[in-house]
Amino acid sequence: MSEKRPARQPQSGHHNLDPHLPRYAARTAGMTASEIRALFAVASRPEVVSLAGGMPNLAALPLDSLSSQMAELIANDGLVALQYGSAHGVPALREQICEVMALEDISAHPDDVVVTVGSQMGLDMVTRLFCDPGDVVIAEGPSYVGALGSFAAYQAEVVHVAMDDQGLVPEGLREALGQCRKHGKRVKFLYTIPNFHNPAGVTLAVERRAEILEICREHDVLVVEDNPYGLLGFDGQTYPALRSMDPDNVVYLGSFSKTFASGLRVGWVLAPHAVREKLVLAAESATLCPPTLNQLVVSRYLATHDWKGQIKTFGENYRERRDAILSALEQHMPPGCSWTHPDGGFYVWVTVPEGVDTKAMLPRAVTARVAYASGTGFYADGFGSRQMRLSYCYPTPERIKEGVRRLAAVLESEMDL
């Protein structure tokens, strides 16, 4: 039936030749390759300094002891580690996750933790649970590209709320919710990344947290708090999680991707108690259970390694890179550019002068052997053409400096046009 056909093709490129086109579900209309994904191929050429991707820098991991621990795990508990488990996750790990979250003032029961295949799966499940097509999700502008992908996949409409250097602006949130109410839109949740934001690099001021929770309460809107970077503050500072301040109205998404190893794909959702059962059912239908082996690897690692020390080491590496990018930006960027000053995490968000379009400029930057993520990918509504995200997490400080030097030269010639 024609109305079931997607309004737009699911992929750019060879779609016109795809004989399956009439078969796709309507929801695939929102599934398009993210600009960032498309960039990965070019950006990974060795001569290009990539400030585009957000890959954690794992070089500091203790590979020798991890490898003997994994061998031991298979030798001693292989038949458990290689077997199915529960959709809820390994109980010992869920308890340890509660200890990790306690670092940000969260007091939780392990029963309310559901282990997921990265927090990306958590995002997908939460959207699946709460969003019908046309429902509204409020998100910071800009926002995490993978979250925007999940919202699009469930045909939710995203309404962005501006941030300043203190994070999400409460007045903007109030205004957006008021507008949605006025236009009869159903707002399902606020999706927010309070700490060391991806891509904006800012942190939500502690003074704003209670107010934002209160506004959401007033409008009967759930809060989805996505916090993969919270323990990666450069001065070791942590912030009280929104979840710690309003446990019944906040779904919290956590991850070991940045604090341990992204390839293990272990994350979690801490849900309000009432939501937890549905979440487990959603997880079960998606994956049956998260990988048992990987959960046990994380659990043993937390039990036997100095994981807090490891996070500190990661943080020191990122801090060195943050310092390198900020001083290079200061030194090289042409007048009229501005950028954020992150205290943790992986990203700097840059605004360029009027007349420069970061998406159009990208091929010229790649020719000049530097890559970044252009701003429009971080908005659902096409905004962001004067913005770009620079990730400093992966390259060496020397490469970062060289990358910024190249980028500044491209920008300068762009501004002369």
Residues at the site binding ligand PMP, with contacts judged by CB under 6 A: 54, 118-120, 144, 146, 193, 198, 226, 228, 255, 257, 262, 267
Q: Cα separation of 340 and 347, whole Å?
A: 9
Q: Compare residues 257 and 376 and give the one whose CB is closer to ligand PMP.
A: 257
Q: Compare residues 389 and 401 and give the one whose CB is closer to ligand PMP.
A: 389
Q: Compare residues 9 and 192 and give the one whose CB is closer to ligand PMP.
A: 192
Cβ atoms within 10 A of the Cβ of 407, count?
A: 27
To the nearest 10°, the Cα dihedral for 347, 314, 224, 94? 160
Q: What is the DSSP string of 387-410?
A: EEEEE-SSS-HHHHHHHHHHHHHH
CB of 151 to ligand PMP, least distance (A): 13
Q: Compare residues 54 and 384 and give the one whose CB is closer to ligand PMP.
A: 54
Q: Compare residues 54 and 377 and give the one whose CB is closer to ligand PMP.
A: 54
Q: Report the sign of the C-alpha dihedral through residues 401, 407, 408, 409, in that order.
A: positive
List the one residue out of 208, 216, 166 whose CA is nearest residue 187: 216
Backbone angles phi, psi at 299, to 5 degrees: -60, -45
CB of 67 to ligand PMP, least distance (A): 22
How many CA atoms lie less than 13 Å away from 76 in the CB half-sphere?
9
CB of 91 to ligand PMP, least distance (A): 21
Q: Which residues contact 159 (CB under 8 A, 6 or more apart)?
A: 136, 137, 138, 139, 176, 179, 180, 185, 187
Q: Cα separation of 393 and 57, whole Å?
A: 6
Q: Compare residues 180 and 311 and give the one whose CB is closer to ligand PMP.
A: 311
CB of 310 to ligand PMP, least distance (A): 17
CB of 294 to ligand PMP, least distance (A): 12
Alpha helices (H) along 333-396: 358-367
Contact status, residue 218 vs residue 239, Cβ threshold 8 Å:
no
Helices 206-218 + 170-182 axis angle, to 10:
10
In whole angstroms, what separates CA 213 from the centre of its chain? 21
CB of 143 to ligand PMP, least distance (A): 8
CB of 148 to ligand PMP, least distance (A): 11
CB of 411 to ligand PMP, least distance (A): 25
Alpha helices (H) along 2-144: 35-43, 63-81, 91-102, 118-130
CB of 254 to ligand PMP, least distance (A): 8
Q: Compare residues 144 and 180 and give the one whose CB is closer to ligand PMP.
A: 144
Backbone angles phi, psi at 160, to 5 degrees: -85, 145
Q: Compare residues 130 and 268 and give the one whose CB is closer to ligand PMP.
A: 268
Q: Compare residues 30 and 54 and give the one whose CB is closer to ligand PMP.
A: 54
Task: Point out the residue whose Cβ comes nearest to ligand PMP.
Answer: 118
Q: Compare residues 119 and 244 and give the one whose CB is closer to ligand PMP.
A: 119
Backbone angles phi, psi at 269, to 5 degrees: -120, 130
CB of 384 to ligand PMP, least distance (A): 16
List the one residue out of 53, 55, 49, 36 whose CA is nearest residue 405: 49
